Structure formats: C-alpha cells, structure tokens
Amino acid sequence: MLALKRQGWTPASAAAPVPSLFPAPSAAQINEEAELHNRLLDDLDEQVDGTRSRLAAAQRRLKLVMRRSGSCKTMTLMFLIAVILVVVLVIGFKVALHLAIFL
C-alpha cells in the first residue's frame, strides 16, 4: 500500500478512466477497412468460383474415363473368356480324337 501512495494512487484515481494507448479510429478509417475487407471477400469468392468450375470439369472428365475404362474391362474379360473357351474346346477335341484312335 505504501508503494501505491508513493506512485500517487488514491481511491479517487482508481475510479478515473484509463487513458487509451491507441487513438480511437475515425469513421473514415473504419469505412476504408470495411471496403478493404469487402474487396478481399469478393476476390476470395471469385477464386472459389473458379476452383469450383475447374473441379466440376475434372469430375466430368473422371466420370468419362471411368465409363470408358469400365467398357474396356468388360471387353477384355469377354475376350479372355472366349480365348479360354477356344483352348478348352481345342484340348477337348484333341483328347476326343486321341481316345477315338485307341478305340
């Protein structure tokens, strides 16, 4: 308490308003800052729109590739089944001929 009295503290001085370290901004400064934030938000909105359109185009291309690769897989599978069927028929025919010779 003694140190506070040496610094000039009194109960009345405690109730006094504390002086601001920073001056209060004027209405013009607040308006300028608000306009700056609006411009920044507008720029961000445009960038998001551009990104959204590029993403949509990439998704369309991906769907097309998936559709094409799906049909390619189907055709490859059908070709392999046909080749296996031909091999089985050829082997079966040779076995049947081989058995017919020995009978």
45 is a domain residue: yes
8 is a domain residue: no
Q: How confident is the model at residue 36 (pLDDT cuts 50, 70, 90)?
A: very high
Q: What angle do CA 38, 42, 48 make, to 5 degrees?
A: 140
Dist. CA 35–CA 41, nearest whole Å: 10
Residues of the domain holding 76: 27-102
- What's the pLDDT score for residue 77? 86
Dist. CA 24–CA 43, nearest whole Å: 29
84 CB contacts (<8 Å, ≥6 apart)? none
How many domains does the chain divide into? Answer: 1
Residue 80 has pLDDT above 60, yes or no: yes
- What's the pLDDT score for residue 3? 65
20 is a domain residue: no
Average pLDDT of the chain to the nearest whole number: 82
- What's the pLDDT score for residue 6? 66
